[in-house]
Amino acid sequence: MLRRLVLASAIVLLAGGAAAADPTSRDPAKAPPGEYALDPRHASLVIRVPHMGGFSRYTMRFNRLSGSFSYDPASWQATKVTISVDPKSIDTEDNVFNRTVAGYFEPDKYPVILFSSTALVATAEGRGQLTGDLTFHGVTKPVTLDVAFNGVGPGILGAGTRMGFSGQGRIKRSEFGVTQARPFAGDMVDLEFEVEFVKK
């Protein structure tokens, strides 16, 4: 009987926590001002590269990301986001190939892939284009990302404030001096990211 009571209490608690964690608004103007830091446990950057002219888009993921931004809902267009990616964290689900691909990035010489935003423009409700400078393999070039604001709300069990975003973009790796594995791997690289930030 006691075991059933404990189990029932846990289910109620988890259900309540899940409900409390839902976004309460998808209006960026309603997000509280302050400093936000990337939650690395809820952040992913997936890249896709055409394989042998387009038989498929070979998919990889970077596992270590960090970042932050300062937010003011009264001037959200002025938000400046900085994201750092560890090039050694590339994950192809093959440990040997991971080292091969990471080697293309020369991570000992260029230990960080860095994106620093320079402009944010709304394109539709809850959507926008984030432009910034991408520094990759020692080369810095402008990149534009399509971004969707997924909402703001409390964290698990109502703790803290959390903002979520999804987005995508595209770069040419040859423009950053990464040309290995051609023609087996294409030049165009699609970027897809899912990120959550927590108010400090």
What integer pLDDT is reported at residue 191 of this predicted model? 98
What integer pLDDT is reported at residue 159 of this predicted model? 81
Instruction: Identify the CATH number of the domain in which residue 74 sits.
Output: 2.40.128.110
* Length of the chain counted residue by residue: 200
What integer pLDDT is reported at residue 156 of this predicted model? 82
What integer pLDDT is reported at residue 14 of this predicted model? 46
What integer pLDDT is reported at residue 21 of this predicted model? 63
For residues 191 and 176, what is the distance between their CA atoms, to the nearest angstrom?
15
Counting as low any pLDDT under 70, the low residues of the chain are: 1-21
Domain count of the fold of the chain:
1
What integer pLDDT is reported at residue 157 of this predicted model? 76
What integer pLDDT is reported at residue 18 of this predicted model? 45
Domain span including residue 167: 2-199
pTM: 0.86
